[in-house]
Structure 1
Amino acid sequence: MALPAAALAMQAIKDKPKARITSKVTTVLLTAGLGLGAFFGVRALIGKFKRNNRERLALQEGNPASFATQLKMAFENDNAFGWGTDEEMVYRILEQVPSASLMRKVLRAYKDLYKNNLSADLKSELSTQEYAIALEIINSKT
């Protein structure tokens, strides 16, 4: 009795209608994939262009990219006598930014160069007290 049931099950599996993807669905899927690929490709190229431009401008004194680069270097301070963030250098660099509008440009340049938020990096690199001092310096800009 089990044999006919197994044979019937096998026959039902063989007779089951197959799902087919039409050429229109295939075309839509390929077009969507190419569109997404083009979008992310162009986005990456624009990001690379912005980063390269910021890096070039970082060599100019007083440029927002220069301040952003100096801050990153202060975070990655690896000298012979210690390691970690050079807090005094961070304060000095923040004090050298003359205005609030230039500070906003520094924040944007930092994000373009390092794909990180400067505020978040300050918070992670500094203690709570040091972070409060840095925020005080930033907020004192007019």
Structure 2
Amino acid sequence: MALPTALAVQAIKNKPKVKVNSKVTTVVLSTALGLGVFFAGRAIWRSFKRNIREGQILKEGNPASFATQLNMAFENDNAFGWGTDEEAVYRTLEQIPNTSMMRRVQRAYKDLFGKNLASDLKNELSTQEFAIAQEIIHAKR
């Protein structure tokens, strides 16, 4: 038993050494630092935007208010604990005055919930309900 262990120890000692150039180390470390700063800055910026939007939720007619109403309609807890309140979705979409405000609502929805409003509408509504929502949206000028 001692012989294989001794051979393993000898093989480890005789293993060729890998040398890394200091320039390579510097490049790798600076790249990692740059990526870390980028992702940290992006997280801080998203948090900042979300906080601003959350402060605007209670203002009537604000894009953040409409976005929150739509999200609440998607997360509706009815008697059975599941489902989307389609009527609330239609009512909220009808309250949005024009296409410019609709674009701002979409941006606010993205800032607040990190999701795309159009894809959530498509996922939450049936094909016929989605077509009705699209008609409401496209009727705006």
Provide TM-score, normalisation by structure 1. Answer: 0.86
CA RMSD of aligned residues (A): 1.8
Matched with 1:139 is: 138
Once the two structures are TM-superposed, the CA of residue 28 in structure 1 deviates from its matched residue by: 1.3
Work out the CA distance in 1 between the residues paired with 2:127 and 2:52: 34
SS in 1 for 2:17: coil
Trace 1:35-54 onto structure 2 (pairs within 5 A).
35-54=34-53
Once the two structures are TM-superposed, the CA of residue 24 in structure 1 deviates from its matched residue by: 1.7
User: Are residues 1:117 and 2:113 paired?
Assistant: no
4+ aligned runs moved over 3 Å, structure 1: none
User: Are residues 1:96 and 2:65 paired?
Assistant: no
Work out the CA distance in 2 between the residues paired with 1:22 and 1:139: 61
Q: What stretches of structure 2 of length at least 5 have no aligned partner?
A: 1-9
Aligned residues: 132
Matched with 2:29 is: 30
Once the two structures are TM-superposed, the CA of residue 58 in structure 1 deviates from its matched residue by: 0.9
Work out the CA distance in 1 between the residues paired with 2:30 and 2:121: 43
Report the CA distance shift for 1:27/1:88 in structure 2 as closer, same or farther (over 3 A).
same
Q: Give the letter for the 2:124 counterpart.
A: E
Once the two structures are TM-superposed, the CA of residue 25 in structure 1 deviates from its matched residue by: 1.2
Deviations 1:11-34 (Å, cap 9, x if unpaired)? 8x94x7533112221111111111
Matched with 1:75 is: 74
Report the CA distance shift for 1:17/1:109 in structure 2 as closer, same or farther (over 3 A).
same
Once the two structures are TM-superposed, the CA of residue 54 in structure 1 deviates from its matched residue by: 0.5
Work out the CA distance in 1 between the residues paired with 2:86 and 2:41: 38
Q: Give the letter for the 1:20 counterpart.
A: K
Report the CA distance shift for 1:20/1:81 in structure 2 as closer, same or farther (over 3 A).
closer
Work out the CA distance in 1 between the residues paired with 2:78 and 2:132: 24
Q: Give the letter for the 1:124 counterpart.
A: N
Matched with 1:4 is: none
Deviations 1:111-142 (Å, cap 9, x if unpaired)? 11111100000000000000000000000110
Work out the CA distance in 1 between the residues paired with 2:47 and 2:80: 35
SS in 1 for 2:84: coil
